[in-house]
Amino acid sequence: VDDRELLTIVREVAGDAQTFDDCAVIQLGSCCAVITTDMLHASTDFPRGITCRQAGWMAVAVTLSDIAAMGAAPRYILLAVGLDQPRHLKKILEGAVSCAERFGASVVGGDLDAHTELTLVSTGIGLVDPRSIVRRSGANPGDVIAITGTPGRAQAALVGYTQFACALYEPIPAVMEGIALGKAGASAMMDVSDGLALSLYDLLDANDCGFSIYTAMVPLPPEVPLDEAREFALYGGGDFGLLFSIPPGLLVDIGISYTVIGTVISDRAVLLDGDPMPKRGYVHQWNG
């Protein structure tokens, strides 16, 4: 059983309207908001050696990344802390608050519970003009497909390339990029935290078209042997960049850095250099 199989149960019980996107879109009076929640815990989500402050930062960063992937501006964060050691609380909160504030959000509430292993659940609310919401669906053949940042850095750090430690321990959510891409007219978007390959397959699930990318166009973590760098960039998880499609005519003066890595095609496939891309990356495995 893996995450993606369990998701079919979620869709069966809770409906599938919201499960294809990084956030749920909710209407509050005249206001359009996006909302998302993320659970991280010590044994499966936090990299070995992470500090309490970094764990707090990361918990908020994953949520901000989901909000950014919808084209929304993060505003409010709630943090539920399943605390293994009371003395860890202060640093965790300091990390969470500093990440939220760095990206224009506030930690407005939360909960505390005793837990055998550190478990952090952050929930975020962002605001967005309904015309600027970007969902996973919406890609059209002829759009280009592009990413922000350099994928593979977190995976490189995980296997020992310490020069990328910040990407792993103190990830930077692409908040400004997401807002800019929403305004620019990106047609589909998501974050790439499960890896580029699996994210492309998620886009495939949410759209009626396909995606064709080229290895040579993907930016790679520098100072890493080429074969390894490509493996990390295409299949490694833990990065916080955004993957998006956009009509090429709209890629003018959008004010952010990005790299075009391929095009949206009418075929229902994910292609790497013209061949079906292996569907592998970061997936939770479940016993039983």
Task: Based on the shown chain and the rule CB under 8 A, indicate whether residue 41 belongs to the binding site for a second copy.
Answer: yes
Sheet holding 24-28, edge to edge: 24-28, 31-41, 119-127, 73-83, 106-114
Among 50, 79, 175, 233, binds a second copy (CB under 8 A): 79
Q: Smallest distance from the beta carbon of 169 to a second copy, in angstroms? A: 19
Over its C-alpha atoms, the chain yields an Rg (Å, rounded) of 18
Task: Based on the shown chain and the rule CB under 8 A, indicate whether residue 283 belongs to the binding site for a second copy.
Answer: no
Among 61, 70, 99, 107, binds a second copy (CB under 8 A): 107
Among 9, 159, 223, 268, binds a second copy (CB under 8 A): 9
Q: Smallest distance from the beta carbon of 23 to a second copy, in angstroms? A: 7
Task: Based on the shown chain and the rule CB under 8 A, indicate whether residue 16 belongs to the binding site for a second copy.
Answer: no
Residue 24 or 251: the one with the smaller Cβ distance to a second copy is 24
Q: Measure the CA–CA gap between 129 and 140, rounded to whole angstroms.
A: 22
Residue with tokens 């409906």: 15
The token pair at 285 is 């495995």
Q: Which ranges in 69-217 belong to alpha helices (H)?
A: 89-102, 153-158, 165-169, 175-184, 196-206
Among 49, 86, 130, 274, binds a second copy (CB under 8 A): 86
Q: Measure the CA–CA gap between 169 and 47, rounded to whole angstroms.
A: 7
Task: Based on the shown chain and the rule CB under 8 A, indicate whether residue 37 belongs to the binding site for a second copy.
Answer: yes
HSE-up (13 A, CA, CB side) for residue 201: 16
From 7-15, 175-183, 198-206, 227-235, span contacting a second copy (CB under 8 A): 7-15
Among 119, 193, 199, 212, binds a second copy (CB under 8 A): 119
Residue 72 or 156: the one with the smaller Cβ distance to a second copy is 72
Task: Based on the shown chain and the rule CB under 8 A, indicate whether residue 101 belongs to the binding site for a second copy.
Answer: no
Question: How far lies 261's CA from each of 15, 78, 142, 246, 283, in Å?
Answer: 33, 35, 13, 12, 23
Q: Which of 62, 3, 9, 74 is nearest to 35 (CA)?
A: 74
Strands (E), the chain: 24-28, 31-41, 73-83, 106-114, 119-127, 144-147, 188-191, 210-213, 242-246, 259-265, 270-272, 275-276
Q: Smallest distance from the beta carbon of 96 to a second copy, in angstroms? A: 8
Q: Smallest distance from the beta carbon of 277 to a second copy, in angstroms? A: 25
- Residue 86, phi then psi, degrees to nearest 5: -55, -35
Residue 78 or 206: the one with the smaller Cβ distance to a second copy is 78
Residue 27 or 162: the one with the smaller Cβ distance to a second copy is 27
Residue 107 or 203: the one with the smaller Cβ distance to a second copy is 107
Residues listed for the chain:
288
Site of interaction with a second copy (CB under 8 A): 1, 3, 5-7, 9-10, 12-14, 18-19, 23-24, 26, 28-31, 33, 35-41, 43-45, 75-76, 78-83, 85-87, 89-90, 93-94, 97, 107-117, 119, 121, 123, 125, 127, 284-288
